Amino acid sequence: MNALDVAKAALDTAGGEAEAVAHIEHSGLARFAGSEVHQPTLIENTMVTLRVVHDNRAGVATTNKIDTAGLAELTRRAADAAESSPPDETFPGLAPPADPPDVEGFDDETAALGPGDQARLAAAAIDAGGDVPVYGFFTSAVSELAVVSSTGVSVHQRMTDATALVVAADENGSGYAEQTAWRASGIDPTAVGREAAQKAQRTRGATEIDLGSYRAVLEPYAFADLLDTFSHDSFGALGLLDKRSYFTDRLGQKVFDEKISIADDALDPRGLPKAFDFEGTPKRRVQLVEAGVARSVVWDRATAAQAGGGAESTGHAPPAELRDWGPLPSALCVSPGDAESVEELAELVGDGLYITRLHYLGVVHPREGIITGMTRDGTFRIRDGKIAEPLVNLRFTVAVPDLFRDVLGLTNKVALVSSQNFYGERYPYGVMAPAVASESFTVTGVGSRPGI
Amino acid sequence: MRAKRADFGPLSVRDLCAAAVDAATGAGAEYADARVVMKRNQFVATKSGRVERLSDSESEGIGVRVLLNGAWGFACDRRLSADGARDAALRACTFARASPAKHSRQLAHVAPASGTHRTPVERDPFDVPLAEKVAQCLEADEAMAGPDILVRQAMVRAQREHKLLLTSEGTEVEQELIECGGGIECAAAHNGVFQMRSYPSAQIGSSCQTGWEYVDGLDLIGEAPRVAEQAAALVRADECPSGVMTVVLDADQVAAQVHESVGHPTELDRVYGTEASYAGTSFLKPDDLGSLRYGSELMNITADPTTPGGLGSFAFDDEGVPAERMPVVEAGLLTGFLTSRETAARIGAGNGGSMRAEGWNRMPLVRMTNLHLEPGEGTLEDLLADVDEGVYMETNRSWSIDDKRLNFQFGTQIAWEIKDGKLGRMLRDATYTGITPQFWGSLNGVAGRACWRLYGSTICGKGQPGQAAHVSHGAAPARFRNVRVGVRS
């Protein structure tokens, strides 16, 4: 059965006011370490989530037992959950039917990749590491999502995605590279392995620097990670309603440099396109920041109903099981700038830091957008407008709004950086970001030298 | 207590596992194991008087791991049928065969095990009606209402994991692990200052492998007014000062510190670099065993999968290795790693015992089980009494540590200044930073057994594809000298 059949079967079993979401994963991930595959994982699964509504009482149950008995049990548990809940007068009802936009995002060749292909493409990345041992993976998958409901919603999408990710590292250095696309032919594991290994070679002999504020260039990997973490509190409607978003009381105000424009655009074929959210509401492009001015956040039906005042879902409902997280962006896209290359950004910086990638970000203060973390796998000094000697991994603690308040430049190309770490069911998403040069990046500690 | 095999349904799960192992060895695997796992989760969350989430999820399937020509392969299938078991086994072999090993892989010897285990419970969490769970949350939620309180949240959860492991070496073990937990949290704001306060811990409270008596014992409703009062007070509190000073951490924050700066770096797969592409590596080397000074003589860390109530407790790990308590740091000296059979063989010490998978569709990884800082002596007041000037910090709020687990920065929800051995004014936005061995080297006081608490976390991430492990840490308040406090952006 495809996802639509599974969802319809669940809805038919439930009867009454209900919504069923089916999610199918067919994936392979060839993970390697020390230049050999050590954790190859093949996953086959079908999950179906049923949301039953009785008099404004909603209950959710999920199963991967999709036979008749399994779906009957699913209905019983969802109904029990609904009956156990007091009525919620703010419940906006299930989504009305709407035609989803036509999006790309499925590729037959990618869907056809099997374990032999995944191992072969992992081997290509491994071989490209040369003398530098490599750690990472090649993965590809087919995911299907279908939403049907008693209100007439009936939508279905098949998606493919592929990622090659490499950390090249020995005792003296480390480098990183990654490519993600919905067409496996759009990524080059050999180039990924080579980029990581070359970066690793350049990090040997890393030195420390003084703590303080520096100008800095952030590669797309670092920029995307920082923006994704910032978005969890600040770009979703729940963060705004709960007043933990940096955008609280700032919508309509200039918050970043005018070079910064950020949208959430799941329709963009350069990303990992999605047609609808987990309520079946069509995806919309949402302009979050326009020329430095805070414009909007993303919404689902529950937060729109809570907010009132004409707020509408923008197609960002999370899975019902995670609805307490609220709507979150999953296709962030930063508008590019004019710089031809990261070298040109380094010229703009003159004296500062060059940062490839970040590690283990933690939100120190959500309302102020303060985030701490470490740099990793390629941190360099910029001197006289050139990328210069390697640095040890650095601890930074930055107010993201400060980082974006005075932007020196952005590259004229964006890269798609995967944001998913493949927890739970496969749902590919990422951030499209250029490299950025900022006036202010605060180093609050020094760590170890790059390397294994 | 014996697990009830009938819970798996009419299919003979044991036969499915055996069929999978037979199919794998028939296809050339020199080793194979098959795990059938059935997991059920309930989660209730309320927010400011409304039910925010009420979910009941279940998932089941079979995961087959093979070692073929020295290469690992893993595949899984949700179908608990002969076809599902065989398909998973053959696909695991295909993947292993396509990924040739460059080095041979040895597994530490383990005698074939058989047995069953079930978490002892007084009241099965799944016997507690959802309506009772909702009422418990709503009452705690309501008890946090007050001036300046913006958002009130209460949550309870329950999980049952029933699994059977069968290996080609003759191991056959069946376990039913039951856990539950809960917590409350509220946010306050005043004049643009935003603060949060949680109990008993941030991030979905705390959980325990036991019955619903644990959630009742948390007394979320009774604690709610204090939590709200502290949140409201925090928005008017002074910012924590910066400087190098003595810090006393509550047991919750010590547990977080143990997790990040002792638990992860002592996972031997990280030491060998097999997590380098995601979670990171370790500052430790295999040769450090028995010689590396990790901390002061007051530092005693134990890995103990036999801890009653621990989320990392079991009778056998997911390789069938019997649970065993093991010292990791003794009097400040590194004396143990967390291992799998493969990494144990590599280092030539032990036989594994820390391999756990999130579920049927993930490969087992080296994970923390229950990792404790052993108690010292005295009380929190005794620790404070010996501090002329410093800060006492409570309840983790933020955490970050580098890929080698050396440079860390933590923040707590609340703090108080310590003056002349007594707590003074409340402080907000407290953070501290350090380097792991130096920090643990500055440990100069751990409170005693009466202050020792077990915290259970369900959000420990590792692996690609990602896996969230459930782990517990026992800890007591502890005192550290010369800590850098108050990191500013």
pLDDT tens figures, A2-29: 999 999 999 999 999 999 999 999 999 9
Q: Where are the alpha helices (DSSP H) in A189-259?
A: 189-202, 220-234, 237-241
CB B76 within 8 A of CB B64: yes
A38, A64, A81 member nearest B56 (Cβ): A81
**What angle (nearest 5°) sits at the alpha carbon of residue A407, between those of residues A402 and A408?**
145
Cα nearest neighbour of B460 on chain A: A423
* Residue A445 φ/ψ, nearest 5 degrees: -175, 160
Tokens of B488: 């500013």
Q: Which residues, in sequence order, are CB contacts of B385 under 8 Å at separation 6+?
A: B421
In a shared domain, residues A66 and A198: yes
pLDDT of B2 reads 33
Average pLDDT over residues B86-105: 92
B365-385 b/e with 16+ CB inside 10 Å = b?
bbbbbbbbbbbbebebebbbe
Three-state SS at B473: strand
B344 touching A (Cβ < 8 Å): no
Per-residue pLDDT band at B204 (split at 50, 70, 90):
confident
Chain B residues inside the 8 Å CB shell of A61: 55-58
On whether residue A241 sits in a domain, the answer given is yes
On whether residue A187 sits in a domain, the answer given is yes
How many Å lie between the alpha carbon of B414 and the closest alpha carbon of chain A? 13
Chain A residues inside the 8 Å CB shell of B404: 447-448
CB spacing of A422 vs B465 below 8 angstroms: yes
Per-residue pLDDT band at B103 (split at 50, 70, 90):
confident
pLDDT of A242 reads 95
- Integer Rg of chain B from CA: 23
**What angle (nearest 5°) sits at the alpha carbon of residue A152, between those of residues A146 and A155?**
25
A81 touching B (Cβ < 8 Å): yes
CB spacing of A60 vs B461 below 8 angstroms: no
Rounded to whole angstroms, the Cα distance separating A138 from A164 reads 4
On whether residue A452 sits in a domain, the answer given is no
Residue A113, domain CATH: 3.30.2290.10
Residue B327: is the preceding peptide bond cis (ω within 30°)? no
In a shared domain, residues A326 and A359: yes
Q: How many helices (H) and strands (E) does chain B have?
A: 10, 24
Please, what are the domains in chain B? Answer: 5-234 (3.30.2290.10), 238-485 (no CATH)
Which DSSP category does B260 fall into? I
> Is the pLDDT at B487 greater than 80, yes or no?
no
CB B367 within 8 A of CB B471: yes
Name the residue with higher pLDDT: B455 or B7.
B455
pLDDT of B104 reads 82
Chain B residues inside the 8 Å CB shell of A320: 55
How many Å lie between the alpha carbon of B59 and the closest alpha carbon of chain A? 5
Chain B residues inside the 8 Å CB shell of A116: 94, 98
In a shared domain, residues A185 and A216: no
How many Å lie between the alpha carbon of B479 and the closest alpha carbon of chain A? 22
B54 touching A (Cβ < 8 Å): yes
**Percent of chain B's residues with pLDDT above 90:** 94
pLDDT of A323 reads 86
> Is the pLDDT at B7 greater than 50, yes or no?
no
The number of distinct structural domains making up chain A is 2
pLDDT of B11 reads 57
In a shared domain, residues A400 and A361: yes
Give pLDDT tens digits for A311-325: 999 999 999 888 889
CB spacing of A321 vs B134 below 8 angstroms: no
Chain A residues inside the 8 Å CB shell of B59: 45, 47, 62-64
> Is the pLDDT at A405 greater than 70, yes or no?
yes
Per-residue pLDDT band at B1 (split at 50, 70, 90):
very low
Q: Where are the alpha helices (DSSP H) in B144-219?
A: 213-218
Chain B residues inside the 8 Å CB shell of A361: 400
Beta-sheet strands, E only, within B48-192:
50-68, 71-77, 114-118, 149-167, 172-190
Structural domain for A368, as ranges: 212-446
B139 touching A (Cβ < 8 Å): no
On whether residue A124 sits in a domain, the answer given is yes
The mean pLDDT of chain B is 95
In a shared domain, residues A182 and A128: yes
DSSP β-bridge partners for residue B155: B45, B183
In a shared domain, residues A8 and A154: yes
Average pLDDT over residues A360-386: 96
Rounded to whole angstroms, the Cα distance separating B158 from B208 reads 10
B438 touching A (Cβ < 8 Å): no
Tokens of B200: 């008993």
B439 touching A (Cβ < 8 Å): no
Residues 200-219, chain B, touching A (beta carbon < 8 A): none
Give pLDDT tens digits for A176-217: 999 999 999 999 999 999 999 999 999 999 999 999 999 999
> Is the pLDDT at B161 greater than 90, yes or no?
yes
Cα distances (Å, whole numbers) of residue B315 to B162, B174, B318, B356: 13, 9, 10, 12
In a shared domain, residues A227 and A192: no
Average pLDDT over residues A65-87: 97
Three-state SS at B116: strand
Cα nearest neighbour of A423 on chain B: B466
Tokens of A358: 């970040």
**Percent of chain B's residues with pLDDT above 70:** 97
Chain A residues inside the 8 Å CB shell of B51: 58, 85-86, 88
Whether the complex's predicted ipTM is more than 0.90 is answered with yes
CB spacing of B75 vs A116 below 8 angstroms: no
In a shared domain, residues A198 and A218: no
pLDDT of B458 reads 96
Give pLDDT tens digits for B370-414: 999 999 999 999 999 999 999 999 999 999 999 999 999 999 999
DSSP β-bridge partners for residue B167: B33
CB spacing of A40 vs B99 below 8 angstroms: yes
Average pLDDT over residues B186-191: 94
In a shared domain, residues A193 and A222: no
Chain A residues inside the 8 Å CB shell of B88: 42, 44
**DSSP codes of every residue in B86-114:** HHHHHHHHHHHHHS--SS----------E
On whether residue A163 sits in a domain, the answer given is yes
A253 touching B (Cβ < 8 Å): no
Last residue of a domain, one of A168, A202, A236: A202
Chain centroid to CA B379: how far? 26
The mean pLDDT of chain A is 97
pLDDT of B203 reads 81
In a shared domain, residues A292 and A167: no
Last residue of a domain, one of A154, A172, A202: A202
CB spacing of B53 vs A397 below 8 angstroms: no
Residues 29-58, chain A, touching B (beta carbon < 8 A): 29-31, 33-47, 49, 58
DSSP β-bridge partners for residue A57: A54
Unique residue bearing structure tokens 């309501």? B142
B461 touching A (Cβ < 8 Å): yes
* Interface test with chain A among B403, B435, B488, by most A beta carbons within 10 Å: B403
**Residue of A284, A279, A288 whose CA lies nearest to A323:** A279
B359 touching A (Cβ < 8 Å): no
**DSSP codes of every residue in B328-383:** EEETTEE---B--HHHHHHHTSS----EE-SSTTS--EE---BEEEPP-SS-HHHH
Rounded to whole angstroms, the Cα distance separating A164 from A158 reads 21
Beta-sheet strands, E only, within A55-200:
57-63, 134-149, 154-170, 173-181
Three-state SS at B144: coil
* Residue B13 φ/ψ, nearest 5 degrees: -65, -35
How many interchain CB pairs under 8 A, A with B? Answer: 277
On whether residue A288 sits in a domain, the answer given is yes
In a shared domain, residues A217 and A196: no
In a shared domain, residues A361 and A412: yes
B183-222 b/e with 16+ CB inside 10 Å = b?
bbbbbbbeeebbbbbbbbbbebbbbbbbbbebbeebebbe
Residue A86's CB is within 10 A of a number of other CB atoms, namely 15
On whether residue A207 sits in a domain, the answer given is no
Q: Is the model's pTM score more than 0.90?
A: yes
- Integer Rg of chain A from CA: 23
> Is the pLDDT at B489 greater than 80, yes or no?
no
CB spacing of A442 vs B99 below 8 angstroms: no
**Percent of chain A's residues with pLDDT above 70:** 100
Last residue of a domain, one of A202, A235, A269: A202
A64 touching B (Cβ < 8 Å): yes
**What angle (nearest 5°) sits at the alpha carbon of residue A358, between those of residues A355 and A363?**
125
On whether residue A394 sits in a domain, the answer given is yes
